[in-house]
Structure 1
Amino acid sequence: MPKVGLFNIEAKQVGEIELSEVVFGAEVKPHVMHQVVVALLANKRQGTQSAKTRAEVSGGGIKPWRQKGTGRARQGSIRSPQWIHGGIVFAPKPRDYRVSTPKSMRKVAMKSALTSRVQDNQFLVLESLELAAPKTKEMIKILNAFEAKKTLIVTAESNENVYKSARNIEGVSVIPVNNINVYDLLKFEKILITKDAVSKIEEVYA
């Protein structure tokens, strides 16, 4: 079973914690993680962009000049795409970019991402993370102790004090464990996670 250090908020190791072999010692499958990340990013797209085709712009009902004899190029409408204020060729329309991925694939991708972070020694487990009040200075002190810059902080439950303490720090994000996803696990350089959050991950994915 993989083992990692257990730290306090001063970055001092206070023990070790055994991780589930099924979740944190799985085979890393980059191609599955890639597919899931692509789907996650596609599903974030709103797909609300829209422009008008020549059939939808106003005006242009009459032929601007006669077909022959003027010396000018033939034109059928002042709302053709080559005209100023004309329609857009192949105009984008609202659409759904959603990509569906099987639940089993998402599960494999999550295990792969967690295992890769443990193997890279960028998975730091905290004994607990409790702040008496929202203090950005306190959070910066904790991050500096771990030499952590681009960091994802994972808590067992929504923690308002931790969230408010970190929300103004560039490159740092705080999420409860039930909101973690493969993209966030791979995007950040380090993962700071509480011991209780690790237990919840193992309950779901073991």
Structure 2
Amino acid sequence: MVTCVVKNWQGEAVGETTLALPVANEKTAAHIVHRALVRQLANARQGTASTKTRAEVRGGGRKPWRQKGTGRARAGSIRSPLWRGGGVIFGPKPRDYSQKMNRKERRLALRTALQSRVEDLVVVQDFTAEFSRPKTKDLVTALSRWDVDLGKRVVLLTDEFNENLYLSGRNIANLTMMGATNLNIHDLLAADKIVATEAAIAKITEVYID
């Protein structure tokens, strides 16, 4: 269990909240988080890269010159992999890179990753009411009041989707916004700062504990 300071819209400390997530054993934590990260990156691959073998390259049906007597090396086709314009040896073919991981393992990895980033976690009160209309400048100002440097990668966690907040933050280069129920291991580990509302922390605790 970790105690976090809660800040209000003005950046003042107004209370505390606890982050108590069941995490992996210290000996296996790095392994399960690594597996979850590799799985996410592998599943993001399209697997559509493709090259043609000598059997698939157009042309090359006729023997370019006779077998003997020319003084040149033997050649049976101009589409040999040794020739320019020929086939490719052991080149990529469309394949499925996806990996499987049990649901409980995935959730355990997410909880472990989030708990490990507690030193970089900033908890704030719910502020969606401040955005009656989209205003990027207001969000940037608020983040600076919360001591968040937008020159680095920042993840903003909210309990539910808010269109005005989304429109306010989508044009901020280093800011990634996501809902508490849509966490992913890569963004949690890659972020330099994680900003989460109290409601988001409560929903994470509710949803990701089996």
TM norm structure 2: 0.90
Q: Distance in 2 between the 1:65 and 1:153 partners?
A: 67
SS in structure 1 opposite 2:57? coil
Show the counterpart of 1:183. 186
SS in structure 2 opposite 1:153? strand
Letter in 1 for 2:140: I
Cα distance, 1:27 vs structure 2 = 4.8
Out of 123, 129, 134, the residue aligned to residue 125 of structure 1 is 123
| 1:161-189: CA deviation from partner (whole Å, max 9, x where unpaired) | 22221112121100111111121111101
> Which stretch of the first structure deviates more once superposed, 135-144 or 57-66?
135-144
SS in structure 2 opposite 1:14? strand
Q: Distance in 2 between the 1:140 and 1:108 partners?
A: 33
Q: Report % sequence identity.
A: 46
| 1:87-110: CA deviation from partner (whole Å, max 9, x where unpaired) | 111121100001111222212211
Show the counterpart of 1:45. 45
After TM superposition, the structure 1 = structure 2 runs for residues 1-206 of structure 1, keeping only pairs within 5 Å, are 1-20=1-20, 23=21, 27=25, 29-118=29-118, 121-130=119-128, 131-148=131-148, 149=150, 150-206=153-209
Q: Distance in 2 between the 1:75 and 1:51 partners?
A: 22
Q: Is the 8 A contact 2:181 2:207 kept in 1?
A: no
Q: Distance in 1 between the 2:31 and 2:162 partners?
A: 34
In structure 2, runs of 5+ residues without a counterpart are none
Q: Is the 8 A contact 2:22 2:108 kept in 1?
A: no
SS in structure 1 opposite 2:177? strand
Letter in 2 for 1:140: V
Q: Is the 8 A contact 2:23 2:108 kept in 1?
A: no
Cα RMSD after superposing both structures: 1.6
Q: Distance in 2 between the 1:156 and 1:128 partners?
A: 9
Letter in 1 for 2:207: V
Tell me: CA distance 1:173–1:183, structure 2 relative to 1, closer, same or farther (3 Å).
same
Cα distance, 1:9 vs structure 2 = 2.4
> Which stretch of the first structure deviates more once superposed, 39-48 or 109-118?
109-118
| 1:7-43: CA deviation from partner (whole Å, max 9, x where unpaired) | 11222111111233xx167655112111110111000
Runs of at least 4 residues off by over 3 Å: 24-28
| 1:91-135: CA deviation from partner (whole Å, max 9, x where unpaired) | 2110000111122221221121121111xx211111112112111
Tell me: CA distance 1:87–1:26, structure 2 relative to 1, closer, same or farther (3 Å).
closer
Residues paired across the two proteins, number: 202
In structure 1, runs of 5+ residues without a counterpart are none
TM norm structure 1: 0.92
